[in-house]
Structure 1
Amino acid sequence: MSKGKVTKKKQPVSDRRQVLYKLVLSDTCAVCKTPCARGLRYLAHMQEKGSVGNGVPCILTKTFG
């Protein structure tokens, strides 16, 4: 018997679960009960005059698709 490493087979790409996040706007980040660093940074950016934003992925809305 050989004492080699046991290699774990990788799952095919089609079998892996993909993580999905909802995009939230600055008004949602402003009233969030558990603010994250990314949300606070986005909120501060949107406070500047003339800034345009498309939202930020919220880690609290993580789902698997």
Structure 2
Amino acid sequence: MAGKNKVKADRTATKLDVHQPQMKIVGADTCIACPTPCARGIAYREKMEKPGAIGFGVPCILTLK
């Protein structure tokens, strides 16, 4: 009887196994109250000060986890 060769799968890091840091998306009100404003946040605040501006938030480097 012919035996089956068992092949061990090499477990390498897949995309699901690797943790990538994520930043939270914050609004202009959070950027205004921020104690350490960044360049990205300042630019976003200036953009949102214009009348009729529509914003979707900006990634905050301080909320990196």
SS of the equivalent of 1:54 reads coil
Partner of 2:29: 27
How many residues matched?
54
For structure 1, the 5+ residue unaligned runs are 1-10
**Paired residue for 1:46?**
48
The structure in which a higher percent of residues are strand is: 1
Q: Equivalent residue for 2:57?
A: 55
What letter matches 2:21 in structure 1? Answer: V
Distance in 1 separating the partners of 2:40 and 2:33? 14
Percent identity at matched positions?
47
Q: Secondary structure at the match of 1:53?
A: coil
CA RMSD of aligned residues (A): 1.4
Bigger fraction of residues in helix = 1
Which 4+ stretches in 1 moved above 4 angstroms? none
Shift of 1:56: 0.4
Instruction: Indicate the structure (1 or 2) with the bigger Cα radius of gyration.
Output: 2
